[in-house]
Structure 1
């Protein structure tokens, strides 16, 4: 059996220079928003060492939790959606909207759901404690209930640019409630330390990871102050990260977060496996022509699963235009089901390990994120860094870098800046009537959607 000859780096260089003609070899090197270089060739000559960051998995079963998003205020409609999701492939649900804070409505929405089998997660912002109390009422102190309270007041604080009352008191109250729920529900996840709010505001990968880590540190410290042991404060924490259409970067981001959390938990004296929830990016979605979003969401789901996320949450492809219908929700479920059950992406632990490029990228992102994390902590932590206007200008610079790439054509959005469909087929959505809460204590991390500027200019 004949084999192709393996070219040396020098032979590759000569071939590349010839193919580039008048362009310099350096034109193949690209910088990202963290000013990290992506080189054209990776191998033993520029290797940084292997990285192995697997999630704890069962290759014969479901390697990750397929979580469906359910949004709205009508409890009966949400109940139909939740049961449909769980009966058709979803393993858990993420409930968002006004229904979360009303115990009677949440009970109706979760009617028929076995909380001991199907985890229920919440997304309630500043109403996290109130929503948690409603979920507690539904669970009726069942010790086997798999609840994800997902308390995340830091993200709500950053997104709103302030809080309805003293934030220190809000965090203290959340930690106190979480400490009680930890005793009642030993399998519950308490806090969600997510970098999603930074990502949606235009942050670089390192900035997003650092935001998640600093939030995690704030939550662990708050739980310890509430009387929870350090080890028990670390274990029920979920780390949140965004995944988008840049699947190599996204899967490297997930891997980097697992490595970073190992270091942070060690610093607390107890090394704990990271529980990572990867949620699809909304800043990558298009609204005028939502159909290409299916490809973006597939890439995001691929990144989350291959990167080793424990939970993967994909938006419906029409989410940028409004709340999705049944068809769009089914597409969101089926995208993951195909990745899981037909593509078998979960049957290998950390399949990216051993790739010269992905190992190098993972390590570089982890190192850059650690530097950002140390900068935040040196300012007194995530809350002080937000209030002191340390984080906002850094994210603004990253957002400007990303937006310029689309403006000058070095990056494209299919269906928006390239291959624009003049006659887009309509989709069915319901208007999203939720309103963003805003305060003026400091500059808020407001979400951006990259396609919006181009869609508005083309109208």
Structure 2
């Protein structure tokens, strides 16, 4: 047995950055270092291939420690070490009985809190009778305290926190939940809720807030004071940036919009005589998390740091930012939805490592319909496994000490602060939304990403990359909306109508009393003055990354249903397998992303054999696939033969270089290659096939 001590440094002596850089540049043989090894984010941040202590500004830790100013490394000294993160699941099923079963299943399976998203009618403050087309859309058909009671049957309300997404109806929705607490005998000191007042998010998503900003701030102030006085474990305000994120905002914009929104709320509440520390204590921040996990972790760290800076500038007491993360809608796909499990895992991981207190894990089939029991189980188990098996919550600020993460956090802080200052100079978040400036900023930021998606520089697995045309769709059981609407109308009709306006200094107490008597949320909203005035802005439209390609697949499905087959492309694989396999695989993947069925083969020795097979394929499009070595001699006869055999379009897989003119003259119509515009090519070919109009 040896007694010698292993010393790695003896075999691997330290190398300084300059020496490493010289060796790398030598290995690159003249290729530019920055072009080959430095990547770039959509925020304009350069990601270096390696980081070292030289990237730490002064040899100390500039980001502090968890639970201390500037809270970059965490809002609390112990974080989630003792109790884990709060796993909050979202519920939107319009059938109250089905939603109740899903809620009970989640709670029994380990979920620790709930988000209840009310339907579009309630979020707009209108009744079922006034807006039948909005009833049950994108949310729960819970209109009265009795409905909430049915929805939350067998749920111990004193043990879990309830988040409410009620849009513009945040005040009457909060009163209705309070009425349920009273009915169940839940004491105020035990009740926990996030009432979710966020009028600017509603304005951005809908393009219309059914009240003036002055009314919105008055209601927020009432909610803050009432919550502080009666429900010390609850929060009144939720700054939710999902609408901006899902429209294509960068991480820096996400942070800046959150800060600008929160500052607008602080100003509005100050105008209503709410103390700044009271306002700050009532805020929950909700961020959407995508699949770029390092950037997502840095986003949460930077957001906490900058919020601390804002509070210091406002003269508020130091307080860590309370963060709720949710998997981004923009990264979820309808096609090959099982890949969403991976996306959701990455997002949940980033939320926990980034220091979120609340994490929402999204069912993998949510983009295609109401989640089923299996997808809900997978969603909640994702977070449970990250905690109970991977012990992610047992490490405080797991990314702390990484020179890369610290540098990325600092860079994001600088970018976000610059955007935030621009919004402030323009008059604040509300003014920027109403002028359309926010929409313009997001559109400008999303444009380069949209190009990268179209060219597959940013691939979407299962959609633009590795599509599966034979996949079986996830089975959903859509609710009977006609029956649900009839039932909702009957329930609401049984409520005694009240038209008196609610006014005075105790409006929330009046709302709670009215809710206990059966008043609907919409009725309370209108008695509070909703719909009497409005604030308008340009709608912030969502952009699901997969949507452009999924629209092509939808068109292909419709064509197959009508004609019995998909549009086809014939792969003219020329020469031995070693010569055509790479490009045949590329071409098959390329065209299946647009819903084309690729008719493939083992390869052909000459043009005549390829032409004969094409005639039997039933395709109008032919793709020549082989190697650069064989192309010069093979392309002219093969392209000419395919054209003569009736091919409407002949495509060559590979960049033509100097041969483009000659090969076009020989019969080649298009060229496909890495970095070409895949989306535009597929759209044009589908139009030629009359699959797209």
Residue equivalent to 1:185: 231
Q: CA 1:440–1:190 in 2, change beyond 3 Å: closer, same or farther? A: closer
- Which among 22, 29, 40 is matched to residue 31 of structure 1? 40
In the TM superposition, 1:305-454 aligns within 5 A as 305-431=352-478, 441-454=536-549
> Once the 2 structures are TM-superposed, how far is the Cα of residue 11 of structure 1 from its aligned partner?
3.2
In the alignment, the residues of structure 1 paired with residue 22 and residue 467 of structure 2 have an alpha-carbon distance, to the nearest angstrom, of: 38
Q: Deviations over 1:386-409 (max 9, x none)?
A: 112221111101111211222223
Residue equivalent to 1:251: 297
> Once the 2 structures are TM-superposed, how far is the Cα of residue 101 of structure 1 from its aligned partner?
4.1
Residue equivalent to 1:436: none
Note if contact 1:107-1:138 (Cα within 8 Å) is conserved in structure 2.
yes
In the TM superposition, 1:196-207 aligns within 5 A as 196-207=242-253
Moved more, 217-226 or 319-328: 217-226
- Which among 109, 113, 116 is matched to residue 88 of structure 1? 109
Q: CA 1:22–1:104 in 2, change beyond 3 Å: closer, same or farther? A: farther
> Once the 2 structures are TM-superposed, how far is the Cα of residue 412 of structure 1 from its aligned partner?
1.2
Q: When the two structures are superposed, what TM-score results if normalisation uses the length of structure 2?
A: 0.63
Note if contact 1:318-1:429 (Cα within 8 Å) is conserved in structure 2.
no
- The structure that has the greater radius of gyration is 2
Note if contact 2:81-2:395 (Cα within 8 Å) is conserved in structure 1.
no
Residue equivalent to 1:230: 276
Q: In the alignment, does 2:55 pair up with 1:13? A: no
In the alignment, the residues of structure 2 paired with residue 306 and residue 284 of structure 1 have an alpha-carbon distance, to the nearest angstrom, of: 20
> Once the 2 structures are TM-superposed, how far is the Cα of residue 430 of structure 1 from its aligned partner?
4.8
Task: Please report the RMSD computed on the Cα atoms of aligned residues, expressed in angstroms.
Answer: 2.1
Note if contact 1:55-1:349 (Cα within 8 Å) is conserved in structure 2.
no
Q: CA 1:37–1:101 in 2, change beyond 3 Å: closer, same or farther? A: farther
Residue equivalent to 1:123: 165
Provide structure 1 residue ranges, at least 5 long, that are not aligned to the other structure.
434-438
Q: When the two structures are superposed, what TM-score results if normalisation uses the length of structure 1?
A: 0.94
> Once the 2 structures are TM-superposed, how far is the Cα of residue 215 of structure 1 from its aligned partner?
1.3
In the alignment, the residues of structure 1 paired with residue 435 and residue 98 of structure 2 have an alpha-carbon distance, to the nearest angstrom, of: 43
In the alignment, the residues of structure 2 paired with residue 58 and residue 208 of structure 1 have an alpha-carbon distance, to the nearest angstrom, of: 23
> Once the 2 structures are TM-superposed, how far is the Cα of residue 418 of structure 1 from its aligned partner?
1.5
Residue equivalent to 2:177: 135
Note if contact 2:252-2:412 (Cα within 8 Å) is conserved in structure 1.
yes
Q: In the alignment, does 2:299 pair up with 1:291? A: no
Residue equivalent to 1:456: 551
Note if contact 1:191-1:238 (Cα within 8 Å) is conserved in structure 2.
yes
Q: CA 1:23–1:60 in 2, change beyond 3 Å: closer, same or farther? A: same
Q: CA 1:100–1:272 in 2, change beyond 3 Å: closer, same or farther? A: farther
Note if contact 2:167-2:199 (Cα within 8 Å) is conserved in structure 1.
yes
- Which among 95, 112, 122 is matched to residue 74 of structure 1? 95
Note if contact 1:324-1:428 (Cα within 8 Å) is conserved in structure 2.
no
In the TM superposition, 1:208-223 aligns within 5 A as 208-223=254-269
- Which among 196, 199, 202 is matched to residue 153 of structure 1? 199
> Once the 2 structures are TM-superposed, how far is the Cα of residue 426 of structure 1 from its aligned partner?
2.4
- Which among 139, 147, 150 is matched to residue 105 of structure 1? 147
Moved more, 58-67 or 249-258: 58-67
In the TM superposition, 1:38-57 aligns within 5 A as 38-48=47-57, 50=61, 51-52=63-64, 53-56=73-76, 57=78
In the alignment, the residues of structure 2 paired with residue 77 and residue 254 of structure 1 have an alpha-carbon distance, to the nearest angstrom, of: 35
| SS at 1:343 equivalent | coil
Q: CA 1:189–1:394 in 2, change beyond 3 Å: closer, same or farther? A: same
Residue equivalent to 1:282: 329
Provide structure 2 residue ranges, at least 5 long, that are not aligned to the other structure.
1-5, 65-72, 118-138, 482-533, 553-593, 596-693
Note if contact 1:115-1:147 (Cα within 8 Å) is conserved in structure 2.
no
Note if contact 1:48-1:360 (Cα within 8 Å) is conserved in structure 2.
no
In the alignment, the residues of structure 2 paired with residue 63 and residue 16 of structure 1 have an alpha-carbon distance, to the nearest angstrom, of: 43
Moved more, 337-346 or 109-118: 109-118
> Once the 2 structures are TM-superposed, how far is the Cα of residue 67 of structure 1 from its aligned partner?
0.7
| SS at 1:324 equivalent | coil
> Once the 2 structures are TM-superposed, how far is the Cα of residue 377 of structure 1 from its aligned partner?
1.4
